[in-house]
Amino acid sequence: MTVDQFAQPGISEPRHASSPVTYGVAVGLFDRMDGSYFHPAPSATAEHCITFWGTVHIPDEIITQVENAYYRDRQQEIEEDMEETMRLWTVEWMKANPEPGNWASASKVEEYNQRWRDEHEVHRLKVLPSVEAKRPLALGSYDAPQIIRAAQMNSNRPDPKRWPGEATKVMLHPVELFEGEMTVGDIGEKYRLARILSYIQKPIKTDIEARILEAIGETNQLLHAWQFERGEDRVAAREERYR
């Protein structure tokens, strides 16, 4: 007595679920094609992993959620990168421009501080484009679903210990983006998808986390402005010089 396996037209049969369900024989778990985005079957073959994640319907809420999460994460990354870049610049600037001594007049001290602020801003504007260009500022509307598919192929690839070679096939598989093809592995590295993987895998049911992230972003902006006015970069540079 058999029951036909769930199947999709045009999709080759996976290894572990290729036979009909037979009474008395265990129902297959791996490589099934009747899973869903939130409840997929585990993959034992690269073919199943690529085929399933390359065709499964992606909920719109996930696409929008991932676009927003990536943008927030990228902005935070840029801020952190710029803070470190400007800190290192300040260290070198202070080596070349020693602070006025205690005997200096208030006008000389203010002149020194203003010169630092002016040159700091000039350098910040100079290096900002190169920092922003390290990876895309946002996900393109056409690319977002494809990038999500690549991320899911990556995170759900077959266990290399149980099925040697299958995971590598997944990572080397090309995915078409708007400006050309990239492998699953290269997409993960370029967009650093591991940083937002939780937003890719499941919906965030409340906006509490989003509000927290927004509050953190606003706090960082205020802190950065305060540090700029107080010359905290110079304080840090002075401390590093005497280490």
- Please state the domain count of the chain: 1
Band of residue 104 on the pLDDT scale cut at 50, 70, 90: confident
- Write out pLDDT tens, residues 192-242: 999 999 999 998 866 666 566 556 556 655 665 555 555 555 555 555 554
In a domain, 123, yes or no: yes
Structure token digits, residue 57 = 């319907």
Expressed as residue numbers, the domain containing 117 is 61-137+218-241
Band of residue 106 on the pLDDT scale cut at 50, 70, 90: confident
Which whole number is the average pLDDT over 75-94? 94
Residue 83 reports pLDDT greater than 90 = yes
Which residues partner with 181 through β-bridges?
176
Bridge pairing between strands 21-22 and 180-183: unpaired
In a domain, 162, yes or no: no
Q: Is 183 helix (H, G, I), strand (E, B) or coil?
A: strand
pLDDT of residue 237: 58
- Give the mean pLDDT of the chain: 84
pLDDT of residue 120: 94
pLDDT of residue 6: 39
In a domain, 227, yes or no: yes
Angle (deg, nearest 10), helices 208-230 and 60-96: 10
In a domain, 210, yes or no: no
- Write out pLDDT tens, residues 33-51: 999 999 999 999 999 999 9
CA distance 71 to 73: 5
In a domain, 100, yes or no: yes
**Alpha carbon 161 to chain centroid, angstroms:** 27
Range of weakest confidence among 20-29, 110-119, 215-224: 215-224
pLDDT of residue 105: 86
Range of weakest confidence among 5-19, 89-103, 109-123, 208-222: 5-19
In a domain, 204, yes or no: no
In a domain, 112, yes or no: yes
Q: What are phi and psi of 176, to 5 degrees?
A: -80, 125
In a domain, 125, yes or no: yes
pLDDT of residue 2: 43
Residue 1 near residue 13 (C-beta atoms within 8 A): no
